[in-house]
Amino acid sequence: MAIFKGAGVAIATPFYADGSVNYDEFGRLIEFQIANGTDAIIVCGTTGESATLSEEEHVDVIKYCIDKVAKRIPVIAGTGSNSTDTAIMLSQEAEKAGADAVLVVTPYYNKATQKGLIAHYTQVANSITIPVIMYNVPSRTGCNILPATAVWLCKNVENIVAIKDATGNIGQTIEMMSMADGCIDLYSGNDDQVLPILSCGGLGVISVLSNIAPQETHDMCQKFFDGDIAGSREIQYKAIKLINALFMEVNPIPVKTALKYIGIEAGPMRMPLTEMEPEHAEILKKEMEAFGLLK
């Protein structure tokens, strides 16, 4: 059974001006997501600035999110690390806290061979009982899960069940799914490729766009599942300029700026991320207005 189907939000982590986690605003963002059709919440991923959370903060943010959601929709905890031991520790803490699954990014900086990826994911998965979603984003990590590796892991490790595919390489995705014999639950990791991934058998998206447009992102997926391909395509086409604006600068700089525009005080980014350039922020605001998010 799939962990979720539809649009899962890669949720931002709001901060106060002093850099501490703003749990009050985080709670507002969670409630906004649930009220507007989000199908799952992915906490402490890239968009949640997990790279600059301390291990204690990382666990606390996961626990808060799980408690706040209170089983209304699935919560997937980002627990990846370039250290296998750290990924194991975070995954075990997420399971203890009640996470429905974990999202584990490939090791970054030190990277890994395909043999190393098999060992890494196997050890992390074997340390917990909840499902594991592999996260393949070579543009950030410099490390690519090749199709044969992804398929091997899903066929040989019981609780490795899915992949967030942010490769941007549809040819690789098709190759992987052609080899999978149905053993991989596929989620898009790129908002500009939701429809293509769904057409490859995908179950949905883990989305940055959903932070500010949860209902529309949900609808893009649901229309596809309901057989309204034209309706799904219409939303994908309508959203493309906004999606491009959300990635004019490195994620999550634009989306945290966008959250402020819709009245959610996401606060500053943690260094080394900096505030959005004013000219880019104006383009983002214009695209939000064109999409209907701002009055």
The residues annotated as belonging to the active site are 135, 164
**Three-state DSSP state, 1:** coil
Tell me how far apart the alpha carbons of residues 113 and 107 are, in angstroms, rounded to a whole number: 10
Task: Report angle CA 63, 37, 241 to the nearest 5 degrees.
Answer: 105
- Residues 6 or more apart whose Cβ sits within 8 Å of residue 127: 88, 91, 92
* Torsion angles phi and psi, residue 280, rounded to 5: -75, -40
Q: Where are the alpha helices (DSSP H) in the chain?
A: 23-35, 55-69, 84-97, 114-126, 138-141, 147-156, 170-180, 194-199, 214-225, 229-246, 253-261, 278-291
- Fold of the domain built from segment(s) 6-226: TIM Barrel (3.20.20)
Look up the pTM and report it. Answer: 0.96
**Torsion angle, CA of 144/148/153/156, rounded to 10 degrees?**
-170
Which residue ranges make up each domain of the chain?
A: 6-226
Per-residue pLDDT of the chain (295 residues; tens, 9 = 90+): 799 999 999 999 999 999 999 999 999 999 999 999 999 999 999 999 999 999 999 999 999 999 999 999 999 999 999 999 999 999 999 999 999 999 999 999 999 999 999 999 999 999 999 999 999 999 999 999 999 999 999 999 999 999 999 999 999 999 999 999 999 999 999 999 999 999 999 999 999 999 999 999 999 999 999 999 999 999 999 999 999 999 999 999 999 999 999 999 999 999 999 999 999 999 999 999 999 999 7
β partners of residue 188 = 165, 205
CA 200 to chain centre: 19
- Looking only at the bridges linking them, the beta strands covering 132-136 and 160-165 are parallel
* 128-148 per-position pLDDT tens digit: 999 999 999 999 999 999 999
Please tell me the predicted confidence (pLDDT) of residue 154.
98
**Three-state DSSP state, 162:** strand
Tokens describing residue 282: 């104006």
**Three-state DSSP state, 269:** coil
74 preceded by cis ω (within 30°)? no
Please tell me the predicted confidence (pLDDT) of residue 265.
95
Tell me how far apart the alpha carbons of residues 254 and 220 are, in angstroms, rounded to a whole number: 22
C-beta separation of 133 from 164 below 8 A: yes
* 145-168 per-position pLDDT tens digit: 999 999 999 999 999 999 999 999
C-beta separation of 121 from 96 below 8 A: no
Please tell me the predicted confidence (pLDDT) of residue 295.
72
